[in-house]
Structure 1
Amino acid sequence: DQIILLKDGRIAETGHFEDLMAAGQTFCQLISEYAVTHRGQDGSGSSSGADSDNAETQSQDMVGSGTGGDTAAAGTTPTSRDTRAKDAKKDAKKDKKAGIIQAENILDGGLSASIFLRYLRAITYKYATLIMLFQVLMQVCYVGTSLWLKYWIGQNEDTSPESRPSLSLFLSVFSGLTLVYVLMGIVLFWVAFGVARIRASEYLHRIFMSRIMRLPPAFFDTTPLGRIINRVSSDFASIDDRIPWKLFEAIGHAVSLVASLTVVAFTTPLFLVASPFIALIYYYVQKHYQRASQAVKRICRATQSPIFQHFQETLAGVSTIRAMNLQGRFIATSAERSDLYSNSFIALAYGIRWMEILVQMVNVVITLLASLWFVLLPQGSVNAATAGLALSFAMSNSQSLIWFARTYSDLYVHMIAVERVQEYAELRTEAPLSTAPDSETGRALEHHWPQEGRI
């Protein structure tokens, strides 16, 4: 057989085994070092002199009787061979400790603004602006109907039955505002879920898959398939369904909250005095809940991948598992990983309940301030319609505060899916399939290449 030895991308030696050993160059040194390393790993506890002699004997046995044995023995000194054998043992131990597959990286800290900008670019700024505009206009119509009812009630109380405005006028304005509210809601749903959501999902999926298909084989050797499946399935489920809904709801609840607080502030000036303290408490609750839920959600995502990975490995080796009677071990491992994921999911639910209780306490203070204001005012200074409007909006703040805090935090948490997809989309890929003639990576191949049967 012909042996070709490559070194630094060039052919260093070529020839038969006996000829290369007799030459005593690089190939001979490699064989001698391999013999020393192999003997050093198998025969622990022997002296260095015995290791050297056995190594020389092994290299001579490989060559056979002849001049090759003397040359192989003289290739390296016993001292250098002992040192290389010890280094080889250390490297072997390091390789065992290191392992090929690394644990999945769990990012910490808050989400960067680039993650939100990436999703907004996927939606396009045009559709994001339209969604915000329609949400504001819908809330204006909603508050307008309440103000119109207040005006209607006030007119009935302040004027005589003969001078009251016609009923058809009030019904026409109220019906018109309601109709505009419904029509804008239909258009808003179509823009948000019929256009923007689909475009964002297609954009992120196209970037992710184009990068995955161009990753080097080493990535798939060191990354479990279950980890990739988790990102394609679970993370894209959030991008396709949950993030659009949470974004839509967060904007709606934010606009509704601003409108409610504005009405309460104009009708109850006492609320303006306490509003800085209420805002500080709400900010404290929101901040701590957001940090906790974000960390727990990241743990949920990371603990879900091993479940997919273990299930896939179990299906692939089910015959071996049954043959070795290891069903109990694999069932216990699956239960342990499922429990770890369930614990983090339950912790997330506990955080939601904690936030809801504190937010309801904040809203109780708002309602109390509005009620005290109308009780302490002189009788007749505020009509019943204004008081009823303020109290109704103050009581509705409870749900607006809770749902805004929850939807905003859920949106923040689900945006981790975009972060995880972005992490894979930024991985380094293989070289491009083709290069331009003036590129730095090399000159482009001719159109009819190759013209000959050699490179």
Structure 2
Amino acid sequence: MQLLHNKTVVYVTHQLEFLDASDLVLVMKGGRIVESGKYEDLISKTDGELIKQMAAHSKSLNQVKPPKTTNSAKSYQQAKQIEETGIQFVDLSRSSRVSERNLHEETESGRVKWHVYATFITSAYKGALVPIILLCQVLFQVLQMASNYWIAWGSERNGSVTKQQLIEIFALLSGGSSFFILGRAFVLSTIALETAQRLFLGMITSVFRAPLSFFDSTPSSRILNRSSTDQSIVDTDIPYRLAGLAFALIQLLSIVVLMSMLPGSSARELARMVPIQQAPILQHFSESISGATVIRSFNQEGRFWKKNAELINDYSRVAFHNSGTMEWLCVRINFLFNLVFFILLVILVSLPRSAIDPSLAGLAATYGLNLNVLQAWVIWNLCNVENKMICVERILQFTGIPSEAPLLIEDCRPDTEWPLNGRIEVENLHVQYNPFLPKVLKGITCTFPSKKKIGVVGRTGSGKSTLIQALFRVVEPTQGRIVIDGIDISKIGTLRTNLDPLQEHTDHEIWEVLHKCHLAEIVKQDERLLDASVAEDGENWSVGQRQLVCLARVLLQRRRILVLDEATASVDTATDNLIQKTIREETSECTVITVAHRIPTVVDNDLVLVLGDGKVVEYDSPTQLLGDTNSAFSSLVMEFLRRSSTKNSYELE
């Protein structure tokens, strides 16, 4: 509070021990303010709402017995010393995510690799239809040239070729060329659709199966950029540009090889920079929309508009230069080939009439004009296709993301009844979020007996949540293993499953768990009852109600192992007491692992695991740990009791 003494501070909390530091207390119930005033005045009301909540808080605290000591002043001093000079841990998981998010986007350099082209061409049917397209194009070109030559040759043969023969053969040749161009278009569309689908599914599958570290280091805008902008170019642009280029190369291969070196490497690198500069715009826009309320409340719209304009300027600058390089190439190619065509026409006009047949000269001029346009088009598109292929290159980068363990390993599938007992053995467990970052868990070894309740406590950054993530294999251990009922979980695929209800239980069972989680009355307020709609992300439920829904879903599943990570952090103390009672009664046949900052939540467990700096500090029953005044758990309890005891509320016995 010292840093905020000149600020108006509004804080919402279930931790009632902090209320005595407030100048004004508002007590809410059912969406309304039922009491307001100073803390001392509110707790003096014997029938007030705050005093009822304080009574529940007091009941929760009474479950925690301070360590037995002969000198209470010594205990108080010990707790104060722990708070002031206790070990400070850094949340490595959070710091790792922040540092990794600052990594630059991965990008290639130089020419687009040939394997990118090969992968794109062979994605559909392993490239089996590509020769058919080329054959159709060759036959189309041959028949088209034959029809043009036939008209030029036949028109000069008066008497030897009738008009009917001239038209019939021309129609036959033109019809054949039309048939092959139609076949080429059909096969090309089939290949384009199949290629786009395979690349997209490959990328999305890799992203869905990517480890947690990938999402820590990759902003969502990068994924959206590749799955939208880059994929759109792959869908609608590259196949037809690449095919058109291949068709023209049949005629102009030698010229293209010579002229394709004109744009140099600048166009490629600029094309790579365009999507990289686009991703921050998407990220900033998404974050601005999500935080619009906060931005407006702090009157920071101008700063975000300015930042958005800067990002758009950065993108526009690169996009302008990218377009400029292509236009530079186009202007110079057109100028060069117009000059060549002009010289060709001068030569044709200058030749004597007897040197060349006028009809063939006209045909040559026509093809010369087509050749001029075609050569410019081919060279321009060759460079443009390479720039567009960068989108394929970027998509292929995501298809190569290291994957998590397979969902199922057929040779190591456990019995359908596994886990039967729920015994968990953690052996020399080491976990780190990234190979370049320090370890978060450092050689944890312990055993969670079956059908016991184990509390996991520790200061922020001690590794509590990381241990749970390792249990569910959200992160993979770098060393050591976790064994459940004799089976190493790293050998049986992932443990994560979708817990959405699949209508496997009756309404009676659902209502039963709703009553146990104290949600039944809330659900009954909607006339649709169990068919009531839930908004996206549960926005029509409070945070505490969402936690209770998750708890109800778990109780409905009746698993052998139950993991609770701050399961009641967003509910009030009275509801927390009721929920803890429900958990104790309904999970007698389960192994329960509870991660909590509220000491009363874990003090009645069978065992307590104390973590510190990623290591096991203590692991024993609460009674044994509290019996030792020098234990870390006793220190946490004394600190909690000292903080929770206030002169205006109640005294602990």
Does the aligned pair in 2 maintain the 1:303–1:337 contact within 8 Å?
A: yes
**1:320-399 maps to which residues of 2 (within 5 A)?**
320-375=294-349, 377-399=351-373
CA distance in 1, matches of 2:315, 2:150: 51
Question: How has the CA–CA distance of structure 1 residues 389 and 230 changed in structure 2, closer, same or farther, with 3 Å as cutoff?
Answer: same
Match of 1:121 in 2: 122
Which structure features the higher share of helix residues? 1
Contact 1:285 1:358 in 2 (8 A): no
- For residues 62-87 of structure 1, give each alpha carbon's deviation from its aligned partner in whole angstroms, at most 9, with x where no partner exists: 299xxxx9xx9xxxxxxxx9xxx9xx
Query: What percentage of aligned pairs have identical amino acids?
Result: 22
Check the 8 A contact 2:281/2:311 in 1, yes or no: yes
Q: For residue 375 of structure 1, report the CA deviation from its aligned partner.
A: 4.8
Structure 1 residue aligned with 2:187:
191
Is 1:166 matched up with 2:168?
A: no
How far apart in 2 are the matches of 1:155 and 1:168? 13
TM-score if structure 1 supplies the norm length?
0.69
Q: Are residue 245 (structure 1) and residue 269 (structure 2) matched? A: no
Deviation of 1:362 after TM superposition, in Å, equals: 2.7
Distance 1:165 1:110 in 2: 54
Do the aligned partners of 1:286 and 1:355 also contact (CA within 8 Å) in 2? no
**Contact 1:294/1:413, CA 8 A, preserved across alignment:** yes
Determine the structure 2 residue equivalent to 1:402.
Answer: 376
Q: 2:100, 2:216 within 8 Å by CA — same for their partners in 1?
A: no
Larger strand fraction of residues: 2
| Secondary structure at the counterpart of residue 404 of structure 2 | coil
Alpha-carbon RMSD across the aligned residues, in angstroms, is 3.2
- Give 2:286's aligned residue: 312
Query: Are positions 1:453 and 2:422 aligned together?
Result: yes
Which runs of 5 or more residues in structure 1 are unaligned?
1-15, 20-56, 73-80, 157-162, 259-275, 438-442
Query: What SS does the corresponding residue of 2:418 show, helix, strand or coil?
Result: coil
The question of whether the paired residues in 2 share the 8 Å contact of 1:139 and 1:256 is answered with no
Instruction: Indicate conservation of the 8 Å contact 1:127/1:191, yes or no.
Output: yes
CA distance in 1, matches of 2:252, 2:396: 32
CA contact (8 A) 2:262 2:329 kept: no
Judge which range, 313-322 or 444-453, deviates more.
444-453
Counterparts in 2 of 1:58 and 1:191: CA distance versus 1, 3 Å: farther
Give the conservation status (yes or no) of the 8 Å contact 1:215–1:428: yes
2:275 corresponds to which letter in structure 1?
R
1:155-304 mapped onto 2 (5 Å cutoff): 155-156=157-158, 163-193=159-189, 195-257=190-252, 279=255, 283=257, 285-289=259-263, 291-304=265-278
Offset from partner CA, 1:239-269 (integer Å, 9 cap, x none): 11111121222123333546xxxxxxxxxxx
From 58, 61, 69, the equivalent of 2:81 is 61
Give distance in 1, aligned partners of 2:205 and 2:106: 22
Residue type of the partner of 2:81?
Answer: D
Q: 2:140 aligns to what?
A: 138
Gaps in structure 2 of 5+ consecutive residues = 1-64, 69-76, 424-483, 485-653
What amino acid is aligned across from residue 238 of structure 2 in structure 1?
I
CA gap 1:95/1:128 in 2 versus in 1, 3 angstroms: closer
Measured after TM superposition, the shift of residue 174 of structure 1 is: 0.8
Tell me the amino acid that sits aligned with residue 354 of structure 2: G
TM-score using structure 2 length: 0.49
> Could you tell me how far apart the structure 2 residues matched to 1:202 and 1:257 are?
32
**Cα offset, 1:364, TM superposition:** 2.9
Aligned twin of 1:105? 106
Matched with 1:424 is 398
CA distance in 2, matches of 1:204, 1:308: 22
- Using the TM superposition, give the Cα deviation of residue 382 of structure 1 relative to its aligned residue in structure 2, in angstroms: 1.1
Q: How many residue pairs are counted as aligned between the two chains?
A: 348
Residue 120 of structure 1 aligns with an amino acid whose one-letter code is I
Q: Is the 8 A contact 2:221 2:283 kept in 1?
A: yes
Q: What code does the residue aligned with 1:382 have?
A: I
- Measured against aligned partners, the alpha-carbon deviations of 1:26-45 in whole angstroms (never above 9, x if no partner) come to xxxxxxxxxxxxxxxxxxxx
The answer (yes or no) to whether the contact 1:139–1:255 under 8 Å persists in 2 is no
C-alpha contact (below 8 Å) 1:208/1:425 kept by paired residues: yes
Structure 2 counterpart of 1:33? none
How far apart are the structure 2 equivalents of 1:182 and 1:395?
22
Displacement after TM superposition at 1:116 (Å): 0.9
2: CA distance between counterparts of 1:59 and 1:399?
Answer: 86
Shift of 1:99: 5.7
| SS at 1:199 equivalent | helix
SS where residue 449 of structure 1 aligns?
A: coil
- The aligned residue for residue 11 of structure 1 is none
Displacement of 1:97 in angstroms is 10
Give the drift of 1:153. 2.8
